[in-house]
Structure formats: structure tokens, C-alpha cells
Amino acid sequence: MGKKVFLVDTGICNGCYSCHIGCKDEHVTNDWTPVAKPQPEIGQFWLKMHEKIRGSVPKVKVHYRPGMCMHCDNPTCMEACPIDGAIYKRDDGLVIIDPEKCTGCRNCLEACPYEDVIYFNEDLNIAQKCTGCAHLLDNGWKETRCSDNCPTLAIRIVDEDSEEAKEFIANAEFYKPELAEKMKPRVYYKGLPKKFIAGTVFDPVADEVIIGGTCTLTGAGGKKFTTATDHFGDFWFENLPDGVFKLEIKADGKTKVFTDLDTAAADINLGDIPLT
């Protein structure tokens, strides 16, 4: 059995929640012991869709991130569990909370550094989370319910040594990369949002947008990014890191400067900028 990895391309996720539905459809009311007991009807999400609205009118984008258990190779939940074998790692890399051995001590909830992964089922007095649909993979499925339901193939579960995985991982990143070295997660992402600075430049006297204006963005350490305003007078600096930037807009001999643009808190829409 090859080791599994989840490959999640958020750049082609349309936010339809079919992954979330698939997880619920498979696990609410259905009992897949020994892999999993039923998930509560509402309020818990072994596959959780994270929605983020970026920017402000009219420079707005929506980002969706389907999040599941990272199935870490150094699972701190497993280390924190006092019961031998109640949380275990399968040969295929999936981390399972054994619903029959779990005693409900909740240590694993504290130990997991990622949010919205492990939930506590009060009715059953056990901790629960994504199983990677191990009960299906063991019975002929090549996918999980979330990935089979996905209309754009944004979620894939494949063998780590497959060509698809190698190609994806070469350009992928981790969610919360600062945790990756310690946790060794098995979920790889593409398209996680960075920050943007955007705006529209116009000439208020001529009442025209300015096309081809030069926009120069200077970040920490003097790193420069340049772009030109497009046919709508728009400029977009995308995939920016968190930090403080200075923006200089030049066109027709006129200049406008913005300083202290801090992307740490949020994406920045500078709105419609009159160049006078």
C-alpha cells in the first residue's frame, strides 16, 4: 500500500461545499466502526470549508480552502493520547482515532496545532476527525468522498510516489508552513492567498482612466515590484507577503505616492485614485 497524500488546489475550488456534503453524507448517521462512528448532524466538520473575502468594493476576491486533518507524520495528537493504540497511524499514512478505544480525555484536541481538525462528540464521548475515508480506501475506492464529490478535481488523494503527486508537490505549499517541519503534514496546497494591493487610476480633468501608468511598489529591504495600469486603469499587485510597502504611481508627468501600506492585516484596495 502506497502512502497517501492530499493535494488541494484552492485556485480551482469554486466553494460549492460538495466536499463538506460528501463528508457529512458518508459519516452522519452511518457507522463505519472500527474506522469511525457517526459524525454529529451539524456543527462539526471533518472536512471544513474556510471562506475568506479579500479586499473591498470593487476590488474583491473570494478564497475557499477545504481543510481536513493533515494526517501528520509527526502527529502530536497521537503523542498526547494516553491510551495505547487509540490514535494510530496506518501504513498508508492516514491517522485514525479509534472510536472504540478513545476514552474522551480530549488531550488530542489540545495537542493538534491546526484549527478545526479534531472535534469532540459529546453524545459518544469521543474525539473525532477526518479518517481519509479509510473504510472506503480499504474496500476498493481510489478516492475519498470529498474528492469524489469535487466537481473541479480541486481535492485529490493519491499515492505519494505517483507522478501526479510529485508534480503537484514540486510547486505546492503547506497551510501554516511554520508548523510543517515539526508536524510533517500530508496535505499539500496550491493557491493559498497571499496579499494584494490594487486600485484604479484616473485623470479627473479629462474624466478618463489612465492606461499604461507605471506603478512601482517597494517593500521591505527595498524589494521592488512594478506593473502598469491596464485598459480599465487598474493595477493589481498580487501574491504579496505581509509587510509595509510604498507605492509610486507615475503617468503623464504626474506622480502620486502612497506610503505605509501595511498588508499584514488585510489586502489593500486603494480605490479610484485621481492623478492630478
Partner 1 sequence: MSKKNVPKAIPGTAPPAVGADKTVVKAVNLSGGIFGACPAHVDVKDGKVIRIRPLHYDSKYDYESFNPWEMERNGVKFRPLSKSVPPPWGLAYKKRAYSPNRVPYPLKRVDWDPNGERNTHNRGSSKFERISWDEATDIIASEIRRIHKEYGPLAILVQGDGHSESKLIHAPHGCSTLLLDKMGGFTQQVRNPDSWEGWYWGAKHVWGKGFIGNMAPAENIVNDITENTELLIIQGGDLETTPWGFRGQMASRLMFFWQEAGIEQVYICPDLNYSAAIHANKWIPVLPNTDAALQLAIIYTWVTEGTYDKEYVATHAVGMDKIEDYVLGKVDGIPKTPKWASEKCGIPSYTIKALARHWAKKTTTVGHYFGGGYIRGPYATEPARLEVILLGMQGLGKPGVHHAQIAYLGMPKNITWDQLNYDIANSDTSKGFQEYSGTFETIKQKDPELHERIFNPHRGTPQAWGKQLIPKTLIEEAIKKGTDKYLEFWGTGGHEEEPIDQMIKYTYPCKKGDLRYTGEEKKDLTHNDSDIEKLYKEIDYDGTPIRMVWTDTPCRQTCWGDGFDIGMTIRDPQIEFVLAQHPWLENDCIYADIVLPTNTTLEVDDIMPCVRDGEHFQTVLNMRQAIPPVGDSKSDFEAVVEISKKLGMEEEVTIGRTIDEYIEGVYKGMNFDRIVSWEEFQEKDYMVIPVSKNWKTLPAGLYEFYKDPEANPLPTPTGKLEFCSTNLQKYFPNDEERPPYPQWIEKGITHDERLSSPRARAYPLLVVSNHPRWRVHAQADDIPWTKEAMTGKIRGFDGYLYEPCWINPKDAEARGIKTGDIVKVFNERGTVLCGALVIERIIPGAVSIDHGARTDIIIPGKLDRGGAINLITPKGLTSRHAGGQATTSFLVDVQRVTMEEYEKWRTGYPEAWNRQYDRASGLKASAWVERGIK
Smallest gap from Cβ 200 to partner 1, in A, equals 7
H helix intervals, the chain:
18-27, 76-80, 107-111, 134-137, 145-149, 163-170, 180-183
Q: Write down the least CB distance from residue 128 to partner 1, Å.
A: 16
Indicate the residue among 85 and 140 with the shorter CB distance to partner 1. Answer: 140
Assess contact for 200 and 249: CB atoms under 8 A.
no
The C-alpha cell at 229 is 495600469
Nearer to partner 1, 87 or 234 (CB): 234
Task: Provide the minimum distance between the beta carbon of 127 and partner 1 in the complex, in angstroms, as a whole number.
Answer: 20
* Nearer of residues 81 and 251 to partner 1, judged by Cβ: 251
Closest to partner 1 by CB, 14 vs 259, is 14
State the minimum distance, in angstroms, from the CB of residue 69 to partner 1. 19
Helix (H, G, I), strand (E, B) or coil at 78: helix
> From the CB of residue 4, how many other CB atoms can be counted at a distance below 10 Å?
21
Residues of this chain that interact with partner 1 (CB under 8 A) are 9, 11-18, 20-22, 24-26, 30, 32, 41-43, 45, 49, 51, 53, 55-62, 64, 135-136, 139-143, 145, 148-149, 151-153, 190-191, 200, 202-203, 207-209, 211, 231-234, 238-239, 272
SS3 154: coil
Rounded Cα distance between 192 and 172, Å, is 9
